Amino acid sequence: MIKNPHGGKNSGIHVTYKHDHNLYGRLVYNMGFFDIFKNEIKTEILELDNIKFQVKIHYENRRNSRASIGARAVHIRIPVFLSPKQKLKEELKLKSWVERKLRENIHKYKIQQPKEYKNNDIIKISDKEYILKISFKNKRSSSGRLINNEIHLSVSSNLSKIRQNKHISKLLSRVIGRERLPKLQKRIITLNQEYFHQNINKISFKNQKTRWGSCSGKGNINISTRLLFAPDDVLEYVCIHELAHLKEMNHSKRFWKLVGDAMPDYKEKLKWLKENGGKCSF
Ligand SMILES: [Zn+2]
């Protein structure tokens, strides 16, 4: 498996404020029923120097407040049992800490920006350009299909802008991934015949955000659709990496020799992924 350098649950920075309240796990007697405080998430956008950061405020069953700057969003966690006034106070304290941290080195913490799509946008994937045709419909789900080089998306109008954008990027990944899958399968099968000679069960494109590729002992290989934004040889490197794992389920010297035998300059591809991987996303 290849991890995205921007991924990882514990990446980033965090700060914690302790509370001395004894209210942890408190139940409220209400109208004859016991109500447990309900967890809730609120999403906000913080804009600094024209760079937008997504801030997720979690109200949850916890003792202390905490903020962390992660790969895709800033997370602020507030104990759900605090009073509205206390919640606000905690939020402001953590928000100002986050802002100060981000300003110290905005590019270090630059979070992968979710792309914003609009009608007639052009999406370039290697040698092909797709034209985006978005229509909004009053329904719960969203769907998409490819007609020649046009991607027609029908998106739910009942969602927030952020959610709509998420639906669009998911659909694009699915529609384009489906079109590109036969080529990927052919390539992996050819590489396997040439270098690895393993049993392959299923090859899929997956909308994986924290991994470039993964494989299983059953011979299933998953490749992240984000690699469609990478040069062909980088995508090929990830295929080789996963194929080599079918022989060596580790990152031992023997594993890297298998990779090197199939692609002598693989280190350059790794370097490309480290430097540019963050830009590859739907
Ligand atoms: Zn690996």
CATH architecture of 122-279: 2-Layer Sandwich (3.30)
Distance 113 CA to ligand 1 centre (A): 26
Domains of the chain, residue spans = 2-104, 122-279
- Digit-by-digit pLDDT tens for the chain (282 residues) are 565 444 333 334 555 444 433 333 333 333 334 445 678 899 898 888 777 888 999 999 899 999 998 877 899 999 999 999 999 999 999 999 999 988 887 766 665 666 889 999 999 998 899 999 999 999 888 899 999 999 999 999 988 888 899 899 999 999 999 999 999 999 999 999 999 999 999 999 999 887 899 999 999 999 999 999 999 999 999 999 999 999 999 999 999 999 999 999 999 999 998 888 878 888
Burial class (CB in 10 A: 0-12, 13-18, 19+), 25: exposed
Neighbours of ion ligand 1 (CB under 5 A): 1
Give yes or no for a contact between 9 and 69, defined as CB atoms under 8 angstroms apart. no
**C-alpha 146 to ligand 1 mean position (Å):** 33
CA pair distance 266, 270, nearest whole angstrom: 6
**Could you tell me the sign of the dihedral formed by the alpha carbons of 133, 134, 138, 143, in that order?**
positive
Taking the centre of ligand 1 as the mean of its atom positions, its distance from the CA of residue 3, in whole angstroms, is 8
Ligand 1 centroid to Cα of residue 138, in Å, is: 43
C-alpha to C-alpha distance for 157 and 142, rounded to whole angstroms: 9
Concatenating the DSSP letter of every residue in 129-190 gives EEEEEEEEESSS--EEEEETTEEEEEEETTS-HHHHHHHHHHHHHHHHHHHHHHHHHHHHHH
Ligand 1 centroid distance, CA of 200 (Å): 17
Separation of CA 37 and ligand 1 centre (Å) = 42
Q: Residue 216 C-alpha to ligand 1 middle, in angstroms?
A: 11
